[in-house]
Amino acid sequence: MKNIISSAIAQISSLINGFQVKRFFAVVAVGFLLLTTNVDAGRNSQAVAEQVLEKAHQTDDVRPKTSNEWKQEARETEDDPGTRGKYIAEETGQALKEFGKLYPKTAEASTRDND
């Protein structure tokens, strides 16, 4: 009886090794992901990014919003440290004002969630 059970287990394990079940499941998982992934996701995220950037530009005209704008400003003021310092001070002040407007709302929402 033990020989029959052990031989059956040996045959099943050799069958599993022969079919390479792990590879089969990996291929099935990759195929499932490829078939269920939204192909249009890149276009949607680009539209959302453009909307966020547009909204950010509506808040103020003082601070640069993109890395290209920061680099452009740095290039314009690289020979004049005084002007660069002035820009940095203005932008820091504007950032603190924006943070000051945002912080009370965030703190209130956080404390409300903890109650």
**Predicted pLDDT at 3:** 81
Is it the case that residue 8 has pLDDT exceeding 80? yes
Over residues 74-99, mean pLDDT? 84
User: What are the distances in angstroms from CA 29 to CA 18, 35, 38?
Assistant: 20, 10, 16
Which string of DSSP letters, residue by residue, matches 36-85? HS-TTHHHHHHHHHHHHHHHHHHH-SSS--SHHHHHHHHHHTTT-HHHHH
Rounded percentage of the chain residues whose pLDDT exceeds 70: 71
pTM metric for this prediction: 0.39
Given this model, what pLDDT does residue 12 score?
A: 79
Segment 71-91 mean pLDDT: 85
What is residue 39's predicted lDDT score, i.e. its pLDDT? 63
